[in-house]
Amino acid sequence: MRDDGQPVQAAPHPTTPTPGAATWFRVHGRLVAAGWRRGSTYRAAALGGLVANVTFGFLKVSVLTAAVAAGGGELAGYDTRAVIAYAWLSQALLGSVNLFGRIDLAGRMKDGSVAVDLLRPIDLQTSTTAQEVGRALFSLLPRGVPIVVLALAVGGMRLPTDPAVLGAGLLSALLAVVVSHLVVYLVAVTGFWTVETRGLQVFYMVLAGFFAGLFVPVSIFPGWLFALAQATPFPSMLQTPVDLLSGRVVGGDAAVALLVQLAWLAGALALGQLMTRAGRRRLEVQGG
């Protein structure tokens, strides 16, 4: 494997034990950039992902438009153009939003190299997330943009032209990427206690895909299931950015949706800090 911690070395060590906000942003900015560069080295993988996303996009468009037609041109508030936008935008974001639960940190927890990460004078949670977000944002170029272009070429999709709506949509997509990686971090750091987290990762993948609205929009769930989904962070990872980007949710509702995303971000950040602190005391690395 080539992910041998290079990006971390690219970050300068802060000279003071309590760096200021400016230093924090400079260090994490460089980590995001390092993650971006690393994402750019896996071109073949990105192409493979694009093929998968496009295939699923066509399958989803066909079944969801048939469902709208069967519902008499409307399905729980979605018309044909809205449901096509939903299918394609969710596939476009899938390369960047982490619904699969896999993160490099899980491997580093298992082989013990996380001990080296913990010796660095930088927070494990924020540095890990910064690199993953950088890599995820790069994925928008080979996987997100081509799918949106394809969807517009194939036709039937609606995108907002109002810059305010589009801006809110892009902000929501960025928040979705960060929230997803912060929650996957929580899955990985259970490895402080269990070492092997593969079972939990599969569990996350199944629940995340369903409750994020990967195959069927969360908004067409029956009431009780919709309420259950809303109690999880998963709709904030896919349904929300797609709703905002497609202009289905605008104005005050969009502002509320963004606040909900921010709340999940803050919650995952706080829980991650607590778990990392508790886990540090648990950690025993063999052969150290």
Partner 1 sequence: MAEPLSARWGPYRAVVASRVRSQTSYRGGFALDLVSSLLVGVVQLAEVLVLFHSVDSLGGLDLAAVVLVFGIADLSFSLADLVVGHLDTLPVYLRSGTLDVFYLRPQPLLAQLVTSDISLRRVTRIVVAAVALGVGVAVNDIAWTPLHVAFLVLVVLTSALTFAAVFVAAAGVQFFLVDAAEATAAAVYGGRYAATQPASVWTGPLVAVFGFAIPIAFTAYLPVVALLDLPGPGWLPGWAGWLAPLAAVWMWGVALLAWRSGVRHYQGGGG
Positions that interact with partner 1 (CB under 8 A): 42, 44-45, 47-49, 51-52, 54-56, 58-59, 62-63, 65-67, 70-71, 75-76, 196, 198-200, 202-203, 206-207, 209-210, 215-216, 220-222, 225
From the CB of 202, what's the least distance to partner 1, in Å?
Answer: 4
From the CB of 116, what's the least distance to partner 1, in Å?
Answer: 22
Please say which residue, 75 or 176, places its beta carbon nearer to partner 1. 75
From the CB of 123, what's the least distance to partner 1, in Å?
Answer: 29
User: For residue 97, which of 128, 153, 143, 154 has the smallest C-alpha distance?
Assistant: 143
From the CB of 142, what's the least distance to partner 1, in Å?
Answer: 11
Contacts of 117 (CB under 8 A, 6+ apart): 5, 8, 108, 124, 127, 128
From the CB of 145, what's the least distance to partner 1, in Å?
Answer: 17
* CA dist., res. 65 & res. 74, Å (int): 10
Q: What is the 3-state secondary structure (H, E, C) of 150-187?
A: HHHHHCCCCCCCCHHHHHHHHHHHHHHHHHHHHHHHHH
User: For residue 156, which of 89, 219, 83, 93 has the smallest C-alpha distance?
Assistant: 83
21-40 helix and 124-139 helix, angle to the nearest 10 degrees: 40
Tokens of 40: 């750019």
Task: Name the residue type at position 230.
Answer: Q
Please say which residue, 86 or 221, places its beta carbon nearer to partner 1. 221
Please say which residue, 52 or 231, places its beta carbon nearer to partner 1. 52
